[in-house]
Amino acid sequence: MPGGTSLGRDRVTTSRRLRKAAVVLCLLPAAYFLLTVVYALLNFGDYASDTPRLLRYVIGPLAIALLLMFCAFRLSDETALMVGVTASAVLAALFAFEAYISVKLLPQQVGVAGVVDTDVSLEPYRGYMPPAYTLKAMNIKRQAQTLDDAILAGMPDVEMMLCSDAGRPVTSHSDSYGFRNPGPAASAPVDLMVIGDSFAEGICLPDGEHFVDQLRGEGRSLVNTASRGSGPLFELAVLGRYGPEFRPRVTLMAFFEGNDWENLRKEVNLVWLDDALEPYADFGAVEWSDSHRDSAAEIIAGWWEGSAASVGSFFEGRAFLRNFFALQNTANILGLHYPKAMEPNPAYEQLLVRARDVSAEWGGRVVVVYIPSLDRFGGVFPHGFVQNPLRNMVKDAAESAGIDVIDLTPVFKEQGAPKTLYAADAHFNAEGAALAAEAILNHSALATQ
């Protein structure tokens, strides 16, 4: 009898230990999924405001968490432990895979910050903004208050470092206005003027390879006024200042699906861009004043003396840890990373109407070029439908403003592997740029050119 009692106590103790281990191993991944739900609900407008995101970020994770909690407390000790071990192992494997992908992509992605090998001198490029910095950041640092006082172009006639590729600089030379164009400057009126962000600027592609350069030729005159970090309202300001100078027959306003809607939301709160939507706006002079040149040079020098062209500048402003714990790269590969939901923004239609009217002053017209993001095409599970509401809002706004849209989404989708048209930094590679240029030139919106 004493032996039987001892054996019984041992069994009870073992059972308790199994249950405790099962509870811990089940609740750890359950807690992770519950935190996902909490984050989504705290950011309801971004991650839970429509059915796809509600399913992806709230209902799905909540169901998994509740299932794990049920297993922890209601199944037998052995079964609950098996479920807990499996769930924890899968979660650990996902984080290990996320770390592997992050490390693998890092050397290619830091190129956007201009990180170079130790034997490369950055001295020739210190007259222009470092790769990770923008004109909007310059105006904020200058504390610009009015549109006519804002700087809307880079420093003129200097060497530009766009990024680095395998530790070597990818460079160009700014024209007499401060934009990326081969000299001499095109004479007005030009056939095409391109306004946009880093896609149109041709970030990380050599001269002649980015899509705007590939629009040149066949007697077609073109001026590129794009710059990294630009959003739609900033681009309207560029059109208002430089459009009368070049009097383009067609202005191509590039809209990037990945961040331009978010850029617009932030730009409407910049005091020096306020007047761009108004018919009385003073867009400012094309010529650089001495004070503009001096203040820009001082800021640029300070940037280069700081963390410019470093891994630190790549991570600056990026929610790296948040993205890591969200398993963003893994979710991208699976096709389960849904970007933030975008609410309607009437300012976009207003600025398109304003752009149309500004261009009409010299008999020109505006065409929107819709650039799809890499995220749309990646993943095991198709998820392009998540970006389509934004795409439709852009098209609807353009239609209401009487503006044509060249949508590159179906052109890229028709390719067998659209992901191969993008570089590791999610911008076009040379092949993607060539396809974009071809699609633009062949579109009916430019048929009369």
Residue bearing the bigger pLDDT, 5 or 138: 138
Residue 12 has pLDDT above 70, yes or no: no
Q: What pLDDT does residue 132 have?
A: 87
Provide the 3-class DSSP secondary structure of residue 15: helix
Q: How far is residue 449's CA from residue 364's CA, in Å, rounded to a whole number?
A: 12
Residue 318 has pLDDT above 70, yes or no: no
Q: Give the residue from 14, 19, 32 showing the smallest Cα distance to 79.
A: 19
pLDDT digits (tens, 9 = 90+) for 186-200: 888 999 999 999 999
Q: How far is residue 415's CA from residue 104's CA, in Å, rounded to a whole number?
A: 26
Q: What pLDDT does residue 290 have?
A: 93
pLDDT digits (tens, 9 = 90+) for 60-87: 999 999 999 999 999 998 999 999 999 9
Spacing of C-alpha 446 from chain mean position: 27
pTM over 0.95, yes/no: no
Provide the 3-class DSSP secondary structure of residue 167: coil
Percent of the chain with pLDDT over 70: 94
Least confidently predicted of 10-24, 169-183, 336-350 = 10-24
pLDDT digits (tens, 9 = 90+) for 381-409: 888 889 999 999 999 999 999 999 999 99
CB-based contacts of 202: which residues, under 8 Å, 6+ apart? Answer: 162, 172, 180, 209, 210, 211, 212, 213, 224, 226, 433
Residue pair 355/236 in contact (Cβ under 8 Å)? The answer is: yes
